[in-house]
Chain A
Amino acid sequence: MSLDVSLQTDPGVIATDPVEEARRQVEICNACRYCEGFCAVFPAITRDKVFADGDITQFANLCHNCRGCYYACQYTAPHEFELNLPRALASARAESWERLAWPGGLARLFQSRGDALAAALIAGFALLFAVIAALPGEGEGFYAYLGHGAMVAIFAPAFLLPLAALGVSLRRYWREVGGGRLALPDWREALLAAGRMRNLNGGQGQGCNFEKAERFSDARRHVHQAVLYGFLLCFASTSSGTVLHYLFGMEAPYGVFSLPKLLGVPGGILLVVGCAGMLALKAKADPALGTPGRSSGERAFIWLLGFVGLSGLLLYAVRGTGLTGPLLALHLGSVLTFFLLTPYSKMAHGFYRMTALLREAQDKRERAGG
Chain B
Amino acid sequence: MSEADAATLTGEVWDVVVVGGGNAALCAAIEAAETGARVLILEGAPRDYRGGNSRHTRNFRCMHHGALGPLVETYDEEEFWADLLRVTKGETDEALARHAIRTSETCLPWMQAHGVRFQKSLSGTLSLDRTNAFFLGGGKALVNAYYLTAGDLGVTVAYEATVRHVGIEGARATHVEVDYQGERLTVQGRALVLAAGGFQSDLDWLARAWGPAAKNFLIRGTPYNRGVVLKDMLDHGAETVGDPTQCHAVAIDGRAPKYDGGIVTRLDCVPFSIVVNKDGQRFYDEGEDVWPKRYAIWGRLVAAQPDQVGYSIIDARSIDLFMPSVYPPVTADTIPALAEKLGLPVEAVEQTVATFNAACRAGEFHPQQLDGLATEGLDPPKTNWARPIAEPPFYAYALRPGVTFTYLGLKVDQTARATGPEGPYDNIWSAGEMMAGSILGQGYLAGFGMTIGTVFGRIAGQEAAAHVA
Contacts and interface: CB of A to CB of B under 8 A. Distances in A.
Contact of A74 (B140, B326, B328): B140
A277 B125 CA distance: 41
A8 interface: yes
Given A74-B56, A79-B260, A35 B326 contact: no
B209 interface: no
Contacts of B325: 31
Given A38-B136, A72-B141, A31 B320 contact: no
A24 to B, nearest CB: 9
B102 interface: no
Interface string B138-156: 1111001101100000000
A49 B140 contact: no
A3 B324 contact: yes
Q: Per DSSP, are chain A's interface residues mostly helix, strand or loop, or mixed?
A: loop
Interface stretch (B20-28, B262-270, B427-435): B262-270
A71 B148 CA distance: 13
B123 interface: yes
A8 B328 contact: yes
Nearest to A4: B319
B51 to A, nearest CB: 8
Contact of B264 (A32, A38, A68, A203): A32
Interface string B238-264: 000000000000000001010010111
B58 interface: yes
Interface secondary structure of B, over-half rule: loop
A4 to B, nearest CB: 9
Contact of A73 (B124, B140, B321): B140
A32 B324 contact: no
Contacts of B137: 34-35, 37-38, 68-69, 71-72
Nearest to B54: A74
Contacts of B140: 71-74
A5 B138 CA distance: 27
A138 interface: no
Contacts of B124: 33, 46
B148 A34 contact: no
A32 B138 contact: yes
A294 B393 CA distance: 43
B265 to A, nearest CB: 8
Interface string B192-227: 000000000000000000000000000000000000
Nearest to A35: B137
Given A36-B122, A38-B136, A31 B326 contact: yes
Contacts, number: 116
A31 B266 contact: yes
A291 to B, nearest CB: 22
B123 A8 contact: no
A21 interface: no
B120 A74 contact: no
A71 B123 contact: no
Interface in A197-229: 203-204, 206, 214-215
B260 A2 contact: no
Interface of A: 1-3, 5-6, 8-12, 27-28, 30-38, 43, 46, 49-50, 68-69, 71-81, 203-204, 206, 214-215
Given A3-B319, A28-B326, A72-B136, 6 more contacts: A27-B326, A31-B326, A32-B263, A35-B137, A35-B138, A71-B141
Which 10 pairs between the two chains have the least Cβ-Cβ distance? A72-B137, A34-B138, A37-B119, A8-B328, A31-B264, A72-B141, A31-B326, A214-B144, A3-B320, A1-B320
22 contacts: A1-B319, A3-B324, A6-B328, A8-B328, A10-B328, A11-B264, A11-B326, A30-B323, A31-B263, A34-B58, A34-B138, A37-B136, A49-B320, A68-B137, A71-B137, A71-B140, A72-B144, A74-B140, A75-B264, A79-B260, A81-B264, A203-B136
